[in-house]
């Protein structure tokens, strides 16, 4: 993955050329991901995160002065570690979406972090509220444009509005991820997305085949 290099460089740049400090920051962010995902941001305690990272509370607070700072850093860290699509390897929008969902299956902690914070931040005065509002708005715009393009190519089912399809896709994705967290045997998010996209898209060749999905799960989504 190219994200590893990008992240390290970013970490070093943000903290200056002190490799040790950068490593510690990453250890803290991993611990914060764990605890925020388990308990939400409000109920998480800095002591618990410090313990999980193997450092003292004060050391944690030296790197991240406040609990809000730590939340922002954790969300940014998550975004940097998401699956980076290789446009050459995954030609169609449905394949990119399902590929992302398959990749997500390998990082359940990040999914849990995202789901828990999405819901928790749907409340007043939550520090992550602007982040998610922006994220939803961006996604709706991006996906609507993709569906629009599919419609222009004649691949969209008759009567389907691109903007509506975008909102449905986002909602469905979040919802099935949540169900999957409650009971991993009940539903597979990637398969649910395939089923939905099959309802919306006319050209079956644009969807990843069952064999393709199985290969992604075996070998990783993006081949080298």
Q: What does the alpha-carbon distance between residue 11 and residue 19 come to, in Å, rounded to a whole number?
A: 9
Q: Within 13 Å of residue 143, how many CA atoms lie on the same side as its CB?
A: 22
Among 2, 58, 123, 223, binds DNA (CB under 7 A): 58
Identify residues 149-188 at the interface with a second copy (CB under 8 A): 157, 159-161, 164, 167-168, 170-176, 178-179, 181-183, 186-187
Among 44, 103, 117, 165, binds DNA (CB under 7 A): 44
Indicate the residue among 56 and 164 with the shorter CB distance to a second copy: 164
Token match 């954790």: residue? Answer: 74
Rounded to 10 degrees, what is the CA torsion of 95, 206, 169, 194?
-80
Q: Does 34 bind a second copy (CB under 8 A)?
A: no
Q: Does 100 bind a second copy (CB under 8 A)?
A: no
Among 10, 30, 40, 55, binds DNA (CB under 7 A): 55
Q: Does 45 bind DNA (CB under 7 A)?
A: yes
- What residue 221 binds from DNA, a second copy, none (CB within 5 to 8 A, per partner kind)? none
- What residue 120 binds from a second copy, DNA, none (CB within 5 to 8 A, per partner kind)? a second copy
44: closest CA among 136, 144, 112? 112
Among 1, 6, 9, 137, binds a second copy (CB under 8 A): 137
Among 1, 4, 9, 65, binds DNA (CB under 7 A): 65
**What CA–CA distances, in Å, run from 113 to 31, 77, 165, 173, 189?**
12, 12, 25, 15, 16
Indicate the residue among 27 and 160 with the shorter CB distance to DNA: 27
> Can you spell out the DSSP letters for 155-189?
-BPTT--HHHHHHHHHHHHHHHHHHHHH-TTT--H
Among 1, 9, 14, 43, binds a second copy (CB under 8 A): 43
Size, binding site for DNA by CB under 7 A:
22
Token match 């444009």: residue? Answer: 145
């Amino acid at each position: 993955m190219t994200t590893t290099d990008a992240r390290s460089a970013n970490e070093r740049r943000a903290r200056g050329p002190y490799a040790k400090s950068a490593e510690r920051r990453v250890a803290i962010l991993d611990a914060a991901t764990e605890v925020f995902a388990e308990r939400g941001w409000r109920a998480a305690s800095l002591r618990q995160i410090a313990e999980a990272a193997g450092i003292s509370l004060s050391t944690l607070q030296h790197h991240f002065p406040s609990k809000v700072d730590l939340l922002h850093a954790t969300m940014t860290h998550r975004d940097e570690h998401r699956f980076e699509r290789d446009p050459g390897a995954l030609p169609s929008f449905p394949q990119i979406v399902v590929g992302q969902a398959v990749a997500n299956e390998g990082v359940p902690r990040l999914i849990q972090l995202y789901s828990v914070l999405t819901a928790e931040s749907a409340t007043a005065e939550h520090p992550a509220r602007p982040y998610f509002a922006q994220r939803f708005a961006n996604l709706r715009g991006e996906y609507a444009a993709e569906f629009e393009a599919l419609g222009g190519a004649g691949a969209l089912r008759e009567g389907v509005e691109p903007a509506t399809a975008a909102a449905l896709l986002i909602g469905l994705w979040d919802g099935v991820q949540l169900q999957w967290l409650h009971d991993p045997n009940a539903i597979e998010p990637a398969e649910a997305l395939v089923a939905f996209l099959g309802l919306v898209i006319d050209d079956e060749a644009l969807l990843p085949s069952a064999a393709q999905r199985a290969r992604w799960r075996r070998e990783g989504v993006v081949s080298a």
